[in-house]
Amino acid sequence: MKKILLLFVAIIVTFAVKAVEPSGTLPVVYITTQNNAEITSTENYINATFYIDGKSSGYASLGSATSQTAMKIRGRGQASWTDYDKKPYRFKLTIGTQLLGMSKSKNFALMAYADDQHAFLRATTGYKVSQLMNLAYTPDRRAVELVLNGDYKGLYFLTETVRIDKDRVPITKQDDNAIDASLITGGWLLEIDNAVSTEQVTITEGNGSLARFTYKDPEALSSQQNEYLMSQLNGMDDAIYATDKNSTAWQQYIDLDTIARYYIVQEVMDNYKAFNGSTYLYKDRGTTSNWNFGPVWDFGDAFMRNGQQFIYVNSPKTPQIWIAEIAKFPAFQAKVKELWPNFYNNQYPTISAYIDSFITSIKSAAACDAQRWPAYGTSDPVVDATQFKALLDARVKWLNDQWSGTGVENIEINGNVPTEYYNLLGTKIANPSNGIFIKVQGDKAEKIYLKK
């Protein structure tokens, strides 16, 4: 009798979970696979059809239940696919289509973010910071609700995938198996990866670690392309591990401005997975074109540790490719400090309102999602967002302390720490920068010239 009762309860709970309906406050993506087949692979696509009901979102609907669009769909991701029942998906269309106001394309993803206990704010905020840091391309995305084969799957994010295209990574596409030396200098789209792939090359980093690079485009390499790519990666590695950190040889390979902007985004998000996996870099055609870091993608490890430290310090994700060594170059440090004040003073203050607006837009859908996935939903996004903003504020404040220093910090003279600073005109200044300063030593009238 007890077993029968437990089975009855299990059936009731299962029915209750599956009976959850969309909130109606976000666009709803309806997908039906051929013969209602289950999506079981992250490699093999299966046939399906879909339509989008824009609801009251302000975005246009696409098709209807009686007029659906053909698609092919598969799973995507690694741990996000294997570790959670709420699965992410990737799909492609027959022709380029504009979905919910995003740029026209055949290729999109439905991101589940089942691992995000911060009100779906890790990727949301990371993408916003990327936009504010003016990276060349940040994937566009829309919050939606998903119904797959009649089963409500919860709150998802319809997202542009990273690929070479005029509206995505804006470089010249390179043919697979190209052999012409003038054509294989670009475009390249690579991913620093932490998983083994057949579409991958490896090098031994200057610190002895194995570095994996998955080539996303082109997808198949001729011997000439493979040789060129290996030459570029080994050349970068040699230049990055140069003993002389005043050397600029590495900047002949990597665009300084872009990597500094990309790095700041990852530090703001405390994303220690950066430079270990899901880190893209691309190069346009031409012998003088540089490698650019970006676009951003995965923030699944953002704000996952306690304490304030740079992402390359004591990172649980190893190896991190290059960044700890690049951070030693004065030119890189100076570029980060040059870019930081504008973000901190002008861009970052807008994020709080952006988060509040986002939480308002997903609140009802998040409640439905939490009902559908009680094991890892975010039932009260307002509370979770408040906690997240506190973490973000603390992080940004700590970074500001590191990157807006006086330029004369940690200096002692005759065992005494400077207490007052004056410029060469004798005017007292609160925040001296690199240069020459006059220092008053405590109560003494002694003036000491400091040069950094």
Q: How much is the pLDDT for 80?
A: 93
Average pLDDT score over residue span 292-315: 94
Q: What is the largest CA-CA distance in the chain?
A: 92
Task: Provide the pLDDT confidence category of residue 306 given band limits of 50, 70 and 90.
Answer: confident
Q: How much is the pLDDT for 432?
A: 53
Alpha helices by DSSP H, listed for 276-417, are 323-326, 330-342, 351-372, 381-403
- Alpha carbons 273 and 300: distance in angstroms, whole number: 8
pLDDT in tens, 68-87: 999 999 999 999 999 999 99
Q: How much is the pLDDT for 405?
A: 60
Q: How much is the pLDDT for 417?
A: 58
pTM: 0.86
Task: Provide the pLDDT confidence category of residue 16 given band limits of 50, 70 and 90.
Answer: very low
Better-predicted residue by pLDDT, 350 or 18: 350
Q: How much is the pLDDT for 56?
A: 84
Instruction: Examine residue 319 and say whether the peptide bond preceding it is cis (omega within 30 degrees of 0).
Output: yes
Q: How much is the pLDDT for 124?
A: 98
Instruction: Report whether pLDDT(17) > 60.
Output: no
Q: How much is the pLDDT for 8?
A: 45
* Residue pointed to by tokens 């979905």: 99
Q: How much is the pLDDT for 117?
A: 87
Instruction: Report whether pLDDT(45) > 60.
Output: yes
Q: How much is the pLDDT for 409?
A: 47
- Alpha carbons 339 and 87: distance in angstroms, whole number: 37
Instruction: Report whether pLDDT(439) > 60.
Output: no
Radius of gyration of the chain (CA): 26
pLDDT in tens, 238-249: 999 999 999 999
Lowest model confidence (mean pLDDT) among 47-56, 80-89, 137-146, 442-451: 442-451
Q: What letters, b where the CB count within 10 A reaches 16 and e where it falls short, cover 63-101?
A: eeeeebbebbbbbbbeebbeebebbbbbbebeeeeebbe
Instruction: Report whether pLDDT(4) > 90.
Output: no
